[in-house]
Amino acid sequence: MEKIAAKVREVAKQALASGAVTKILGWETGEFWYDASPVFITDEKAADSLIWDAFCVTNLSKYLIKELKTTQKIGVFLKGCDSLAFNQLLKDHRIDQEQVVIYGLPCPGMIDPEKVKKAGLHQGLLKVKRSGDELTFVTANGEKKVSSRSFDYDKCLRCRYPNPVVYQELIGEEIVRETSNEDRFADVSALENLSPEERYDYWTKQFSKCLRCNACRNVCPACSCEKCVFDNVAAGISGKATVDSEEQFFHIIRAYHVAGRCVDCGECSRVCPVGIPLHKLNHKIMKDMNELYGTYEAGVDGADKSPLVTYTLDDTDPFDGHRQGEK
């Protein structure tokens, strides 16, 4: 990834120097060994601070919404999952394609710092280098090479789009990786096999952990309303007390709000500070949509329409064709 990082800096410098863009959105090193923070730069000299490493997991697409209101043209580096979000934001009319230059980055997967800590490899760690599916942990006492797949985020292990689906310039070679639809909804199938009471208990336990920090909403590229109903204090639904029914209401309403637009980037679960597997709610809706209306994946195609915003006389009635709604 270090060679690609050098190319990222070179591309950013040229784009700013030539005036092709007025701002670049990428990542820079944060405070800790696992930090890679989103950053906007306008000076080509600042391009030397840009990075591309095993921790550039943050989806950059959503940052464009606010910045494009005051910037004429932005160059942005997008991974496969980021590009799905970009396409969805276009369809939601939240951004303008003409204001953006996309530099696509084939992504081998991002490393979960918690897995590194759990393995005890974070002690004295100075740097983590990635080359394909091999990681090198660098400490003052030497280097240790391991397989990356044991440390990839779970969402990266499920990834079916390691290469961007939309870009003007691709930086690096496309990644060839076998992907399968067979296990895509395995987590949902396991929950569906539980009784209704067991499923209710499972989600009640998960939602009871919620802090209402709104991190899941804030990071979600499909959750892009300028004024969220949950920020409207007059609506009477933004209480600060921990009430199970309010937490359940918040998460179920949010899941339906992004239904048909969720690009399965998994950021909601990644940023949740208490580990609620929110992606499973979205997976359940995706699975039902696919079973009822045929295969559909939000963000893959920038022009097709979600089956939830279209209607044909041949559409399946959910209560006739889906176990009468019992799932």
Report the mean per-residue pLDDT for the chain.
Answer: 88
The tens digit of pLDDT for each residue in 121-152 reads 888 888 888 888 889 998 888 888 988 888 99
- The whole-number pLDDT of residue 264 equals 92
pLDDT for 190? 87
Question: Residue 167 above 90 pLDDT?
Answer: yes
Instruction: Please tell me the predicted confidence (pLDDT) of residue 49.
Output: 95
* Backbone angle region of 124, left / alpha / beta, with phi > 0 → left and psi within -120 to 50 → alpha: left
Q: Is the pLDDT of residue 67 over 90?
A: yes
Q: Residue 251: is its pLDDT beyond 60?
A: yes
Q: How far apart are CA 218 and CA 198, in angstroms?
A: 30
Q: Over the stretch 190-235, which tens digit does the pLDDT of each residue have? A: 898 999 999 999 999 999 999 888 999 999 999 988 888 887 777 6
Local confidence band at 250 (pLDDT 50, 70, 90 cut-offs) = confident
Instruction: Categorize the per-residue pLDDT at 323 as very low, low, confident or very high, splitting at 50, 70 and 90.
Output: low
